[in-house]
Structure 1
Amino acid sequence: MSKEIEIQVNSKFESKFLKGYPLINKDMVHNVAVLKREGSIINLIDRNRKFIAKGYYGIQNKGIGWVLTRNKGEKIDYLFFKNKIQEAIDKRQSFFNAPDTNAFRVFNGEGDGIGGMTIDFFDGYYLLNWYSEGIYSYKEQVIRVLDEIMDYKAIYEKKRFDTKGKYIDDDDFVKGERGEFPIIVKENGMNYAVYLNDGAMVGIFLDQRDVRKVIRDKYANQKNVLNTFSYTGAFSIAAALGGAAKTTSVDLAKRSKSKTIEQFSVNGIDFEQQDIVVMDVFDYFKYANRKEMKFDLVILDPPSFARSKKRTFSSAKDYTGLLKDAISITEKNGIIVASTNNATFGMKKFKNFVDQAFKEMNVKYQIKESFGLPEDFHTTKDFPEGNYLKVLFIEKRG
């Protein structure tokens, strides 16, 4: 890369960077106009021109770049990427050796020292996720690292950036032998069909692994289960394999039905014995109330933000209302699994949403257990926003 560019930090943010905060936001620095080419190396300096940290310029929805090192003399080169990726892989040896799981995260962005990039593993296939043009400019170094230190069937990538912040959909294959999709991966002994060549989504969210396992092992047996915002039905699969009396999967996307049927089928489950409904979840709640339907286990895992023809949903504003809808169709002593991946608020605020919803419904509750990101989604205490996942198992008491 070319000459390193000095960027002065706004004085009120100096201490934040000195304490280890890795994300560079536009309002945290001066003279942003000098940054022209994404991927450029930035030296953050204080008001006295003293070095604070070194990072790269890359525009994504979270900010304009990431800190990579606090060592002024460290070069951001092949060796830098090799050391970071090797360290991440070493931390995950238990996953590589697991007999019943072969899909997990190998490298988790800023949690492993390089914000804006993640690497997932799917039974010998590596999937690189690039969140800015800046980090994408280092693709050759990353591929070279994987070539040197890992055996693989193939490498795929997702470029999750463009001028409008939308996914760039082009040929996701990078190198190796092209996969025959779907590939069937294992997660705690459960099967999931995965597509690495079919747009931004691959068919399963790896960060919910622990939640799916506890649903199967502890909460599903003989229960009538409702899985809302069901996507490809991964929670429904876990519930069915856990002995659920019946599962109902509801999602607005038309392709969710065929995808969910596929997931049931690769697990040897008769999908015709399950309900798979293509419908707006909020309309389904109204339908269920009209029909006086009740469920023993209701799973809520909405997107942080979603827009349909009828409504706009924001988890930061509308989760309490969503919970009230769920409470209304949950049996007494039933369980609501409330989940959010919204990084703009923490667990304390999320619990406040729960408390508000149950109080407004005049219903008592107990939080049975909570979950965050699984072990392979390594985070850093210096960036609490990176620990985005919040899941609560809530018992409806009355």
Structure 2
Amino acid sequence: MNKENSCLVASSFIKKYKAGYPLITDETIQANSLREEGMVFRLVDESNEFIARAYYGKQNKGIGWVLTYDEQEVIDEAYFIRKFQAAFQQRKSLFRDLETTAFRLFHAEGDGIGGLTIDYFAGFLLINWYSQGIYSFKKPILKALEETIEYRGIYQKKRFDQGGKYVEEDDYVVGERGAFPLIVKENGVQYAVYLNEGAMVGVFLDQRDVRRTLRDHYTDGKTVLNTFSYTGAFSVAAALGGATKTTSVDLANRSLRKTIEQFSVNGLDYEAHDIIVEDVFHYFKYAVKKELTFDVVILDPPSFARSKKHTFRAGKDYPSLLKQAIAITADDGLIVASTNCAQFQMKRFKAFIDQAFKETGVTYQIVEEFSLPQDFKTTKSFKDGNYLKVVFIRKQTLK
């Protein structure tokens, strides 16, 4: 497809790549010959021995991804067909699940192609391109999809820098045009999604197992606070699980109408629940002042968030956030602590949890843990790819 150059791997990284590490960064290779996004090149050692074949594509994580460790494998339409066939075969059980019609169909480096994800929404496909480099393969990728899966239509999101401006745009690609909102199911719960409206479609598919567990085991007869609530997906799951009342708090104005919509498509009376457009940090102060407590508190902040008065970075500020949640969680109540920050692993996240509880003088018990669901496939050679960490924490009764 493109002229193939060779790039020398730094000696300290050779063993890592030979063990299957997929991400290319400036520090791992001599990248002087890489000029054009989408360029396919060889990784070689000091003896010019082949290690892997990769493509050049700048994104926030690095400058490209390994495509194959087979020197004879050509990166063409047949290559993408093989990758898609293997990935779709592994998700057969989800295709057969009548209660779930939205899931991750192809998960980037976990399925062998970093920078590319494909989601399935009730017959529609949504492609996320994370670099201009992977986007340059659009034609063979679309042809490969046509050969490997039946679909109603395809939408895309180009989530990469173009001309100095960060672009998160939606675009109809091919097939049937969707009528939005598109109603999908997740473990029997209905969600309204929009494949044509902004970078986020209305529900984060990586939390599927967490929402099911919350609904089935932890919310019956409980009061639930859902912070950074987005479109209220956790709140809906909690209400369907028998919660007496949910409170959804998010700073974005859209969260009100979006949450109302999610309650409504499930036949729930949204007026029986509180939907609040407010800075979560302000709400914590209000709840403390009014001596409010909740049986279940859900903390699922973005890795980075900024409001007029607050800046939140998960890698630094999560213990402080958790301390505020502890203050308004009832004794024997549950905190669902979640982060999608890839900069640290579960061990450090648990250290954050321990720090927060020790500093508040409250004892706790971890009752459940979650990482990415099966369709968000990861590889052991790239720990950062397993970004989701969720811990169910029981706040124990003060003696």
- Please classify the TM superposition score into its range, dividing by the shorter chain length: over 0.9
CA deviations on 1:288-326 (whole Å, 9 max, x unpaired) are 000000000000000001111112100000000000000
Q: Is the contact between residue 334 and residue 395 of structure 1 (CA under 8 Å) also seen in structure 2?
A: yes
Q: 1:3 is paired with a residue of what secondary structure?
A: coil
Which residue is 1:66 aligned to? 65
Q: 2:308 is paired with a residue of what secondary structure?
A: coil
In structure 2, how many angstroms separate the alpha carbons of the residues matched to 1:37 and 1:106? 29
Which residue is 1:29 aligned to? 29
What percentage of aligned pairs have identical amino acids? 61
Which residue is 2:99 aligned to? 100
Which residue is 1:335 aligned to? 334
In structure 1, how many angstroms separate the alpha carbons of the residues matched to 2:303 and 2:231? 18
Residue 33 of structure 1 deviates from its aligned partner by 2.6
CA deviations on 1:25-50 (whole Å, 9 max, x unpaired) are 111111x2321111000101112211
Alignment of 1:12-51 (within 5 A): 12-30=12-30, 32-51=31-50
Q: TM-score, normalised by structure 1?
A: 0.98
Which residue is 2:345 aligned to? 346
Alignment of 1:172-211 (within 5 A): 172-211=171-210
Q: Is the contact between residue 223 and residue 244 of structure 2 (CA under 8 Å) also seen in structure 1?
A: yes
Residue 73 of structure 1 deviates from its aligned partner by 1.5
What amino acid is the match of 2:82? N
Alignment length (residue pairs): 396
Q: Is the contact between residue 302 and residue 339 of structure 1 (CA under 8 Å) also seen in structure 2?
A: yes
Q: Is the contact between residue 216 and residue 241 of structure 1 (CA under 8 Å) also seen in structure 2?
A: yes
Which residue is 1:162 aligned to? 161
What amino acid is the match of 1:268? G
What amino acid is the match of 1:183? L
Which residue is 1:277 aligned to? 276
Which residue is 2:214 aligned to? 215
Q: Is the contact between residue 61 and residue 165 of structure 1 (CA under 8 Å) also seen in structure 2?
A: no
In structure 2, how many angstroms separate the alpha carbons of the residues matched to 1:271 and 1:39? 48
Alignment of 1:1-398 (within 5 A): 1-30=1-30, 32-163=31-162, 164=164, 166-169=166-169, 171-397=170-396, 398=398
What amino acid is the match of 1:63? G
In structure 2, how many angstroms separate the alpha carbons of the residues matched to 1:214 and 1:365? 20
What amino acid is the match of 2:259? T
- Tell me, which stretches of 5 or more residues in structure 1 are unaligned? none
Q: 2:27 is paired with a residue of what secondary structure?
A: helix
180-189 or 138-147, which deviates more: 138-147
In structure 2, how many angstroms separate the alpha carbons of the residues matched to 1:235 and 1:286? 22
In structure 2, how many angstroms separate the alpha carbons of the residues matched to 1:166 and 1:124? 29
Residue 165 of structure 1 deviates from its aligned partner by 7.0
In structure 2, how many angstroms separate the alpha carbons of the residues matched to 1:293 and 1:81? 54
In structure 2, how many angstroms separate the alpha carbons of the residues matched to 1:108 and 1:374? 11
What amino acid is the match of 1:23? L
Q: Is the contact between residue 167 and residue 200 of structure 1 (CA under 8 Å) also seen in structure 2?
A: no
Q: TM-score, normalised by structure 2?
A: 0.98
CA deviations on 1:144-174 (whole Å, 9 max, x unpaired) are 11212221110000100014572332x5100
Q: CA RMSD in A?
A: 0.9
What amino acid is the match of 2:48? R
- Tell me, which stretches of 5 or more residues in structure 2 are unaligned? none
